[in-house]
């Protein structure tokens, strides 16, 4: 997983996540099924921490690394976690709420080799000293498909963000969706979306399921997007909202079509941007999907029909029973006939 140069193999991921898991075990802080809050951006250690927690039968709550003060405290509290692991560059944000955390008897780790703040522990030094040997599967034998693998927060547009549980079953379902989208074992997926966000994290988790390479960037950069894709031979990209419009709005270049990207997976692309994107950047198959972090249903447009959010396939009808109901967007109410809902 290249990021500004360094690359990690799947063996590295296995060993580093084992080390992270052992730090948590040796701390004596966690019981089976506990949650640890992770407060950091897009960096490889994010992945080692989450994988390590899953290996010992625990889950992680992904805190938005841009939130501060009351929002940070709220998100931490509603996760139910008693342990927080934060990036070194976010220590000021942690220090701001540290008195409240300590009052709740929360254990705080900072991803550094040494920590000068009283009542805050370092993590990286412990991780470097820990064994990389495999852990017993008995540590996670209690997990089921319904067990939470992670908690991802909603955007909080109508109030404070809310934690949505992502079960192991949902991870498996998303991996199936991405297989349906056409991802194969030779692909390289570019993740510039936040790992604390549903799309970014599920892209990573699905990449593991397929055994493909991940090119991880700290954050989206419209000016470096295509340079990164060329540098790392990216074949699959992700998008949300207006990202595709941002790319289309950049000045045109002679090498706009000089890349290996063949799939774009995401949601929120407008039909006009869709047409502009493929006209300018070439025959990239756009797999628009419909879903929500806290939702229980999703669709993917695997036929690439411009403007569609998905297709209702026999797989959905067989394994995810649902109904499509007509809705009045003016009154924001379902349309009804004499027999009830007009499906």
| Sign of the dihedral through C-alpha 247, 252, 257, 259 | negative
pLDDT at 190 over 90: yes
Rounded-to-integer distance, Cα 174 and Cα 193, Å: 17
Rounded-to-integer distance, Cα 335 and Cα 341, Å: 6
pLDDT at 342 over 70: no
Rounded-to-integer distance, Cα 240 and Cα 179, Å: 19
What is the reported pTM?
0.92
Please report which confidence band the pLDDT of residue 39 belongs to, taking 50, 70 and 90 as the band edges.
very high
Structural domains of the chain, ranges and CATH numbers in brackets: 10-143 (3.40.50.980), 167-337 (3.40.50.12780)
pLDDT at 3 over 50: no
Please report which confidence band the pLDDT of residue 107 belongs to, taking 50, 70 and 90 as the band edges.
very high
The pLDDT, as a whole number, for residue 4 is 52
Share of the chain above pLDDT 70, in %: 97
**Per-residue pLDDT averaged across 87-109, rounded?**
98
Please report which confidence band the pLDDT of residue 343 belongs to, taking 50, 70 and 90 as the band edges.
low
pLDDT digits (tens, 9 = 90+) for 137-154: 999 999 999 999 999 998
**Per-residue pLDDT averaged across 265-287, rounded?**
96
pLDDT at 5 over 70: no
pLDDT at 319 over 80: no
Which is more confident, 6 or 236? Answer: 236
């Amino acid at each position: 997983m290249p990021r500004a140069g360094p690359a990690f193999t799947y063996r590295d991921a296995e060993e580093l996540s084992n080390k992270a898991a052992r730090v948590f075990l040796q701390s004596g802080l966690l019981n089976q099924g506990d949650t640890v809050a992770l407060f950091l951006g897009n960096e490889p250690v994010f992945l080692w921490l989450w994988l390590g927690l899953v290996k010992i039968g625990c889950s992680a709550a992904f805190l938005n690394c841009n939130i501060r003060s009351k929002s940070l405290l709220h998100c931490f509290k509603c996760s139910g976690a008693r342990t927080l692991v934060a990036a070194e560059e976010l220590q000021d944000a942690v220090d701001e709420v540290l008195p409240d955390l300590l009052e709740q008897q929360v254990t705080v780790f900072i991803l550094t080799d040494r920590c000068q703040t009283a009542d805050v522990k370092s993590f990286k030094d412990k991780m470097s000293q820990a064994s990389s040997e495999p852990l017993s599967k008995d540590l996670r034998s209690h997990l089921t498909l319904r067990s939470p693998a992670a908690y991802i927060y909603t955007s909080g547009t109508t109030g404070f963000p809310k934690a949505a549980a992502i079960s192991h079953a949902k991870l498996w379902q998303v991996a199936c969706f991405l297989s349906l989208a056409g991802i194969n074992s030779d692909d390289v997926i570019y993740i510039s979306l936040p790992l604390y966000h549903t799309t970014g994290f599920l892209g990573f988790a699905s990449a593991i399921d397929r055994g493909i390479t991940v090119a991880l960037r700290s954050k989206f950069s419209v000016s470096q997007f295509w340079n990164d894709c060329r540098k790392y031979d990216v074949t699959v990209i992700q998008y949300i909202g207006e990202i595709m419009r941002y790319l289309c709005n950049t000045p045109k270049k002679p090498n706009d079509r000089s890349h290996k990207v063949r799939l774009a997976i995401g949601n929120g692309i407008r039909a006009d941007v869709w047409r502009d994107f493929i006209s300018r950047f070439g025959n990239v198959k756009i797999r628009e999907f419909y879903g929500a972090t806290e939702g229980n249903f999703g669709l993917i447009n695997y036929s690439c029909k411009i403007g569609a959010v998905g297709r209702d396939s026999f797989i959905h009808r067989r394994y995810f029973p649902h109904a499509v109901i007509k809705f009045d967007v003016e009154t924001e109410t379902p349309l009804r006939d004499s027999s009830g809902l007009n499906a």
